[in-house]
Structure 1
Amino acid sequence: MPELPELQALAEGLTSALAGRVVEGARVHQPATLKTADPPLEALVGRRVAGVRRRGKILIVEHEDGPALVIHLMQAGRLGLAAAGAGRPGRTAALDLDVGGGETLRLRELSTHRRASAHLLDAAGLAAHRPLARLGPEPIGLGADGWRAALGGPGALLHTALRDGRRVAGIGRAYASDIMWAARLAPFGRAGDLGDDELARLARAADAVLTQALERARERITTDLPNREARLTAVHGHHGEPCLRCGTLLERVSFAEYELVYCPACQTGGRRYRDRRLSRLLRE
Structure 2
Amino acid sequence: MPELPEVEALAHHLREHAVGKTVFRVDVASMTVLKTVTPAWTEHHGREVTGAARYGKHLALECGDLHLVTHLARAGWLRWSDSLAPAPPKPGKGPIALRVHLESAAGSGFDLTEAGTKKGLAVWIVRDPAEVPSIARLGPDALSVDRARLAELLAGRTDRLKTALTDQSLIAGIGNAYSDEIMHMAKLSPFATTGKLSGEALDRLAEAMREILTGAVHRSVGQEAARLKGEKRSGLRVHARTGLPCPVCGDTVREVSFADKSFQYCATCQTGGKPLADRRLSRLLK
TM-score (norm 1): 0.92
Residue identity opposite 1:61 in structure 2: L
Question: Does the Cα contact within 8 Å between 1:26 and 1:41 map onto a contact in 2?
Answer: yes
Q: CA deviation at 1:225?
A: 6.9
Cα RMSD, aligned residues only: 1.8
CA contact (8 A) 2:22 2:48 kept: yes
Specify which of 168, 172, 177 is matched with residue 171 of structure 2. Answer: 168
Structure 1 residue 112: deviation in Å? 2.2
Q: 1:151 aligns with which of 132, 148, 154?
A: 154
Indicate the residue corresponding to 1:112 in structure 2: 117
Q: For 1:4-15, list aligned pairs within 5 A.
A: 4-15=4-15
Structural mapping, 1:203-282, within 5 Å: 203-218=206-221, 220=223, 222-224=224-226, 229-282=232-285
Farther off after superposition, 38-47 or 251-260: 251-260
8 Å Cα contact 2:166/2:176 also seen in 1: yes
AA matched with 1:74: A
For 1:113-128, list aligned pairs within 5 A: 113-123=118-128, 126-128=129-131
C-alpha contact 2:76 2:112 (8 A) present in aligned 1: yes
> Alpha-carbon deviation of 1:26?
1.4
What is the aligned length?
A: 279
Rounded to whole Å, the distance in 2 between the matches of 1:138 and 1:225 is 25
5+ residue gaps, structure 1, are none
Structure 1 counterpart of 2:51, one-letter code: G
Question: Which residue of structure 2 aligns with residue 180 of structure 1?
Answer: 183
Residues in 1 aligned to 2:227 and 2:95: alpha-carbon distance in whole angstroms? 14
Deviation at 1:58, TM superposition (A): 0.4
Q: Deviations over 1:129-159 (max 9, x none)?
A: 2211111112225221111122235411001
Compute the displacement of 1:270 (Å): 1.9
1:114 is displaced (CA, Å) by 2.2
1:99 equivalent among 80, 91, 102: 102
> 1:117, 1:35 → 2: CA distance?
7
**One-letter amino acid of the counterpart of residue 62, structure 2:** E
Asked if 2 retains the 8 angstrom alpha-carbon contact of 1:44 and 1:67, the reply is yes
Q: 1:238 Cα deviation (Å)?
A: 1.6
Structure 1 counterpart of 2:116, one-letter code: S
The equivalent residue for 1:69 is 68
TM-score (norm 2): 0.91
Q: Is the 8 A contact 2:157 2:194 kept in 1?
A: no
Q: For 1:108 and 1:274, how far apart are their aligned partners in 2? A: 36
**Identical-residue share of aligned pairs (%):** 37
